[in-house]
Each structure stands twice: as structure tokens, then as C-alpha cells.
């Protein structure tokens, strides 16, 4: 990565790869027309922060290169020093999935030893970072009653159990009015089932059913005992419904209250990686720093997940060689093809992914976004690929196929088993999960200064040269351990801002 700056008062741009013919403006507030860099480059227009400047004259139909990769083709002749807006870039053709190859090489990394965290050990061998009572619903119809019961439980009962962090209703919009055996229905069913198995719930499953829904309780939990189930249609009146939920919930709270934190190796962590509200800084600051932290986690034996199909599809050629064998490569290709078909059925182009905010933040298209997004995954081998909502099985770096929507991706990662999440953002988002702590990393210092009490780590210091990717990576790694141990709370958890679960349902609604 090359930057052009001699001191903080002078203009700065970042060129990622020697092959690149564009760079991004770093200076807060952007730079004005006529600005001259130390190498003689002069801006022909005002260019906002994070947006691209052309480093060479680019003729119509010639490639536009960033990260050493073609992100598109020029729609017109563009002069050196111009603002490369997204409307001046034609989307390139997607990489063929049938030509991808794996290097079939296992992880050859130096182990990282001596790091631990304080977690909650469960009887199944999993380890939680929180101690929560999660109450599953089989159908959205149960949500209203359950919410009343949870509100009362938090006010009247939870204070008696000081070791329990929270009570959460795992509400969703599934369960009835759906093709329960239709193509794709396995995704939401698997997701709802696996959400309840998250290690932060300590194995204490309580389920609330209406009684006439299509998603009957034993479809989720075949061995579910009556003492762990409330069927609202079996109750005589509203108060009886709430009372039964509260009585059975308190039995669970007594058990959860016995959990205590013990010292655990980093290999017991399951960490999810995600980004949202991305900008052109994402791929040069926050995501590479998170990728470095991910490498540290893998070296320490942890399970790590990255996701978001549409945000890696156009960089899949960079991921395929990292798969450990042909089986994992085949899974990766299969998930990419499934999602290609999913989008085609809705007549949606893959470039529908970038939001207006992404583009305002300097991202030209989905290729530009994907090439920056994959940096979160670090450099280690990809040991497994999961379908949406599948539980993680292997230590190391796993790709879990999910939509890119922040809320859907977060929900699916929880179902896959994450007990921590690291989330990068350039434009800013108040997204948070109540099941798992979410560490927010800003891609630029402008956002950190503006949202000083929402952003946990400022990776914008990499762009200005005050810190290296490695230094911020270690900062993130150490913060993960502190947050997992409850030595430090994320800003979002301090403010108690949480988003609803959003279960991915590609199946028909009837």
C-alpha cells in the first residue's frame, strides 16, 4: 500500500497495489480542485474523502484497476486527476465458478500460545462469552405473549439471579403461512433450531409454541420434554400463558445462575467477522486489520467465520486457492452457484448489493466492495464451508454462506455458533446483537471522531500512518479477549442498543 503524504497538513491518497490506476483520498472532508500532491498529481475536480482519483489517463473501455484487480471499465475517456464516480465504471463480467482451483495445502502457521479468556464452559464442550436465557418461538404468533412474559421476568425475576446477563426472546417471522416442506425451507428451520443451541445460552432450551403452527416443536427439537415447552393454546387465558412461561423460565434461570466464568484457551472462541456501511477505506484499513486479528485467532486455535455471499462472489478467485482440499472448494462453488441462481430467479443483478451510502463512501460497485471485503478473512487456509444456518464444526477459518444484509448475516452467524463478532464500518451503523458481543471497528478516523461513543476501535489510524495494520490487528485481538471475558463492554452493549433477529427464508410464503 502506497500513500502520498509528507505531513498531516498535506494532501494524502492511498494506492493499494503498484498496478492500480486509481487511489482513494484520505484527507478528512476531501480535497478541492487544484490540489497538488507531492508527486505532482493535480486534482481536476473537488473529490470527497474516501472517493477515487485517477492516477493515469484512462480511455473509454479501458480497465480500472484497484487492489491489482480489474474493478470495471471506463464508460468514457477520463483524465488523470479526475474524480472516478461510480457512474463512470461499467461492471466487469463475474468470474467463472467452473474454473476455480484449490491449492489443496493445509494450514502451515506458527501456533500462538499463552492467550486465554474467561468464559462459561457448557456440558457439550462449547464455551460462552455471555450467560443468557434464550427462549425460542416456533412461530411469530407467540411473540406478543412471550414479550410480555420476558418484560415481567426482567423486572420481577432476573434481579434475583445475579450471574445471568439477560433474558432474550428469539423471535422471528417464520413458522406458519409458509411452505414448510418447500424448497429452501430447510434454511429457516435449521437456523431457528441452531440459534437455540448458541453457547451463550448454556444448553438451557425453553420453547414457546402457539399450538397449531406448521413448524411444530419436535421439528426443531425431537427430544424436547414437556417441562421445556409452553403451548399457548393449552393455557386457560392470557395470565395463565404468561405465568407458565415465567415459572418454567425461572427453573432455567436457577440453573444458569450456577454458571461461572473460568479460564479458557482461545481455541474455545467462535468469532464472526462482518462489515456493514462499508466505504473505500474498508479494504485498506479496518478489514485488513480484522484479517490480521483473524490470523492470530486461527493461530491460537479458535473457530472463525466470515460470510456475505454477494460481498465475496466477485473475489472468489482469491479465496478458492486458499481452500484446504477439493471437497471444501466444491462446497464453496456450490454455495456461490446456489446464490447466483437465487438472484437470477428474482431478476436481480449482483451489483444490486452496494447501497447509496456505500457509493457515497467511494465504492464503485460490488467488485470494488468484494475485493475489500475478503480482507477480513486474513491469510490462513479455509478449512470448511457452511450452508446458511449450519453449525460450525472445525477450528480455523470457515466460510459461512449468508446474505450480505447486516441483520440477516448476523442472525445466520449466531445460528452457526458465534459467541463474538467483529464488525467493520466506514459510513457508520448502530447495528448490534444481544446474543453475542459486537466489536465495532471504524475504517476511518472521521467516523470515530463523530461516533466517539459507538466505535470501539479506530482503524483509520492506518490510513494516516499513525498505526500499522499489525498494530491495529493486535488491538482488535486483545479487545476480543477482554470483551469475551467481560473485562470490557462494547459501546453498543453499554448503550443496550440491539437489533431484531432476521432469519433468512428463501422458501415460499403461502
Across 160-182, average pLDDT: 96
Q: How confident is the model at residue 349 (pLDDT cuts 50, 70, 90)?
A: confident
Residue 142 CA to residue 333 CA, distance in Å, equals 38
Residues of the domain holding 30: 1-93
Which of 73, 93, 113 is the C-terminal boundary of a domain? Answer: 93
The helix (H) or strand (E) run that includes residue 152 is helix 143-152
Residue 80 CA to residue 455 CA, distance in Å, equals 36
Which of 72, 93, 114 is the C-terminal boundary of a domain? Answer: 93
The pLDDT tens digits for 41-94 are 999 999 999 999 999 999 999 999 999 999 999 999 999 999 999 999 999 999
Residue 156 CA to residue 167 CA, distance in Å, equals 12
Residue 273 has pLDDT above 90, yes or no: yes
* CB-CB contact of 34 with 42 (8 Å): yes
Find, among 276, 281, 288, 283, the residue nearest to 430 by Cα: 276
Q: How confident is the model at residue 5 (pLDDT cuts 50, 70, 90)?
A: very low
Across 169-174, average pLDDT: 97
Q: Following CA atoms 119, 378, 385, 398 in sequence, which dihedral angle do they give, to the nearest 10 degrees?
A: -10
The pLDDT tens digits for 434-456 are 999 999 999 999 999 999 999 99
Please give the pLDDT value at position 9: 65
Residue 371 CA to residue 66 CA, distance in Å, equals 9
Residue 8 has pLDDT above 80, yes or no: no
Inter-CA distances, 149 with 75, 129, 154, 155, Å: 58, 25, 9, 10
501: region left, alpha or beta (phi > 0 left; psi from -120 to 50 alpha): beta
Residues 267 and 250 reside in one and the same domain:
no
Residues 283 and 340 reside in one and the same domain:
yes
Residues 169 and 285 reside in one and the same domain:
no
Residues 478 and 406 reside in one and the same domain:
yes
Q: Lowest-confidence range among 59-73, 336-350, 366-380, 415-429?
A: 336-350
Across 362-385, average pLDDT: 94
Across 100-116, average pLDDT: 91
Beta-sheet pairing, 270-275 with 303-306:
parallel
Residues 153 and 76 reside in one and the same domain:
no
Residues 453 and 325 reside in one and the same domain:
yes
Q: Following CA atoms 487, 490, 492, 496 in sequence, which dihedral angle do they give, to the nearest 10 degrees?
A: 0
Query: Strand runs (DSSP E) across 229-345, as ranges?
Result: 229-231, 262-265, 270-275, 303-306
How many CB atoms are closer than 10 A to CB 272?
A: 29
Residue 356 CA to residue 340 CA, distance in Å, equals 22
Residues 70 and 144 reside in one and the same domain:
no
Residue 7 has pLDDT above 60, yes or no: no
Beta-sheet pairing, 69-74 with 63-66:
antiparallel
Please give the pLDDT value at position 1: 61
The domain tally of the chain equals 3
The helix (H) or strand (E) run that includes residue 220 is helix 217-220
Amino acid at each position: 500500500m502506497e500513500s502520498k503524504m509528507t505531513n498531516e497538513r498535506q494532501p494524502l491518497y492511498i494506492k493499494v497495489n503498484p498496478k492500480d490506476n486509481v487511489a482513494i483520498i484520505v484527507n478528512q472532508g476531501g480535497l478541492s480542485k487544484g490540489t497538488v500532491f507531492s508527486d505532482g498529481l493535480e486534482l481536476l475536480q473537488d473529490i470527497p474523502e474516501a472517493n477515487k482519483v485517477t492516477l493515469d489517463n484512462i480511455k473509454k473501455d479501458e480497465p480500472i484497476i484497484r487492489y491489482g484487480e480489474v474493478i470495471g471499465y471506463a464508460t468514457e475517456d477520463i483524465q488523470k486527476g479526475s474524480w472516478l464516480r461510480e457512474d463512470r465504471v461499467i461492471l466487469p463480467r463475474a468470474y467463472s465458478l467452473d474454473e476455480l482451483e484449490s491449492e489443496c495445502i493445509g494450514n502451515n502457521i506458527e501456533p500462538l500460545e499463552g492467550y486465554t479468556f474467561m468464559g462459561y464452559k457448557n456440558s457439550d464442550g462449547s464455551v460462552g462469552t455471555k450467560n443468557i436465557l434464550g427462549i425460542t418461538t416456533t412461530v411469530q404468533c407467540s411473540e406478543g405473549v412471550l414479550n410480555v412474559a420476558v418484560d415481567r421476568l426482567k423486572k420481577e425475576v432476573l434481579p434475583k439471579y445475579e450471574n445471568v446477563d439477560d433474558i432474550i426472546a428469539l423471535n422471528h417471522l417464520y413458522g406458519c403461512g409458509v411452505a414448510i416442506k418447500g424448497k429452501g425451507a430447510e434454511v429457516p428451520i435449521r437456523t431457528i433450531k441452531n440459534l437455540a443451541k448458541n453457547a451463550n445460552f448454556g444448553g438451557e432450551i425453553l420453547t414457546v409454541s402457539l399450538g397449531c403452527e406448521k413448524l411444530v416443536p419436535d421439528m426443531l427439537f425431537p427430544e424436547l420434554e414437556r417441562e421445556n415447552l409452553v403451548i399457548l393454546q393449552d393455557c386457560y387465558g392470557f395470565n395463565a400463558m404468561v405465568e407458565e412461561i415465567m415459572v418454567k423460565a425461572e427453573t432455567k434461570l436457577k440453573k444458569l445462575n450456577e454458571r461461572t466464568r473460568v479460564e479458557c484457551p482461545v481455541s474455545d472462541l467462535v468469532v464472526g467477522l462482518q462489515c456493514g456501511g462499508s466505504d473505500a477505506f474498508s479494504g485498506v484499513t479496518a478489514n485488513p486489520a480484522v484479517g490480521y486479528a483473524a490470523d492470530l485467532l486461527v493461530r491460537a486455535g479458535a473457530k472463525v467465520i466470515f460470510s456475505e455471499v454477494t460481498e465475496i462472489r466477485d473475489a472468489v478467485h482469491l479465496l478458492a486457492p486458499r481452500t484446504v482440499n477439493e471437497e471444501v472448494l466444491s462446497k464453496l462453488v456450490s454455495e456461490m452457484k446456489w446464490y447466483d441462481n437465487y438472484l437470477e430467479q428474482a431478476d436481480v443483478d449482483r451489483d444490486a448489493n452496494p447501497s447509496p451510502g456505500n457509493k457515497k463512501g467511494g465504492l464503485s460497485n460490488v467488485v470494488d466492495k468484494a475485493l475489500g471485503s475478503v480482507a477480513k478473512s486474513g491469510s490462513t487456509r479455509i478449512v470448511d464451508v457452511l450452508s446458511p444456518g449450519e453449525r460450525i464444526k472445525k477450528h480455523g477459518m470457515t466460510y459461512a454462506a449468508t446474505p450480505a444484509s447486516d441483520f440477516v448475516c448476523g442472525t445466520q452467524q449466531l445460528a452457526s455458533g458465534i459467541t463474538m463478532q467483529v464488525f467493520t464500518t466506514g459510513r457508520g451503523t448502530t447495528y448490534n446483537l444481544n446474543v453475542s458481543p459486537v466489536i465495532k471497528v471504524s475504517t476511518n478516523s472521521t467516523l470515530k471522531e463523530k461516533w466517539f461513543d459507538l466505535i470501539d476501535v479506530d482503524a483509520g489510524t492506518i490510513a494516516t500512518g499513525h498505526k500499522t495494520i499489525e498494530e491495529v490487528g493486535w488491538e482488535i485481538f486483545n479487545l476480543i479477549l477482554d470483551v469475551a471475558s467481560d473485562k470490557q463492554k462494547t459501546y453498543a452493549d453499554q448503550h443496550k442498543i440491539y437489533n431484531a433477529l432476521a432469519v433468512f427464508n428463501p422458501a415460499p410464503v403461502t
